[in-house]
Amino acid sequence: MFNQIKKVFKNTKNFLDKISVYLNIFITSFLFLLIALIIFKYLKDTQVLKNNLLNLIILIIFFSAIYLLMGKIYYKVIKISLLKPTLFEKEFRRLWRKRGVLAQETKKIKYGSKKYKDKFHQIEKITKQLDKTSISFKSWLEFFLFSIYYGLLEGMFCWAIRYSTKYFPKAAAEFFRLRSFETGFRWYKLKKYRYIIDSFIYPIKKLKN
């Protein structure tokens, strides 16, 4: 009897989880379409320059930029909503720590040596495994706007804002130093609807074959 009740609750939970995914997609589709229409309605007659042709070109560029950004964010919301996580939080953190240990070990090994390459490839392998359960952003603005919206959608707005802005000052500072840096911003989706936000920035260093 107890097992049957447990099974009913489990099936109900799975059903509600599936419904919530498609509900998020419906809400997002409706809101983004509504916002796009509102922006067009109230800004289409904006007169920036007296020359009508130049003014039209500026408006086309403006609307193209806005709608492209909205399209990218919309795509990411749909992608993370449909993403099926492969790791529990405990497994994720174990792999994360292991990658960190390997990264520290490579600092003590001669760059370009066989041992260094072996460690580097292990790090790459773990990174690929972790990245399978995530979505990435190259633009901080896109990442930040996504975090605001998805944080609201999932009821974790303050948490999303806190972690999406965590590394921005450092990233901005390194950008203005005009050095070659690799930057990335990710949302990891784990089993049982757990999320982890991560940002990184480090000097570009290619491994020689």
pTM of the predicted protein model: 0.79
Q: Are residues 93 and 193 in the same domain?
A: yes
**CA 62/CA 64 separation, integer angstroms:** 5
- Stated as kind and residue range, the H or E segment containing 201 is strand 194-203
Flag whether 208 is in a domain. no
Establish if 105 belongs to a structural domain: yes
pLDDT tens for residues 84-116?
999 999 999 999 999 989 988 888 888 878 888
pLDDT tens-digit profile of 115-130?
888 888 999 999 999 9
In a domain, 209, yes or no: no
